[in-house]
Amino acid sequence: MTSVLVLNGPNLNLLGTRQPEIYGHTTLADVEAMCVAHAEARGIHVTCRQSNHEGALVDAIHAAKGTFDGVVLNAGAYTHSSIALHDAIAGTEMPVIELHLSNIHARESFRHTSYIAPVAVGMICGFGALGYSLALDAMIGHLGGPS
């Protein structure tokens, strides 16, 4: 069975209360439940994890190799600063889809640079919580469908 890790970075544990005008009112628990339901309906398995710590995210990507078929990564602010996440993705050669709730290209200029994009299969941004379902569907398509 196809298995995907949905990995969320810093401050995403505050979803629903942190800047809802930008990130919406959907909580991380809501997002995770939506991901599991969406995946089950498509015949794949999803595991969701979140950490505010860069090293824990790197460790999760390392551990994903051989355990998961792909990773949906919302690295939060680490997108714009973490060479370590870039190197973890490149080093494991895991297919990763970069995800953002907001349209990072319509926000502050420092958010326009992504260290994840050069090693990601693609990027989905600006669709709020719906982006997770879109990213899971994109990963299924990239992997050739559920197995």
Q: Is 115 a catalytic residue?
A: no
Task: State how far the alpha carbon of 39 is from the alpha carbons of 12, 45, 59, 63, 135, in Å.
Answer: 20, 6, 24, 21, 11
What is the C-alpha to C-alpha distance for residues 15 and 98, in angstroms, rounded to an integer? 18
Beta-bridge partner residues of 50: 8
Q: Is 23 a catalytic residue?
A: yes
Beta-bridge partner residues of 15: none
Q: Of the residues 23, 78, 115, 132, which is catalytic?
A: 23
Q: Of the residues 78, 100, 115, 132, which is catalytic?
A: 100
What is the C-alpha to C-alpha distance for residues 90 and 18, in angstroms, rounded to an integer? 31
Residues with active-site annotation: 23, 100
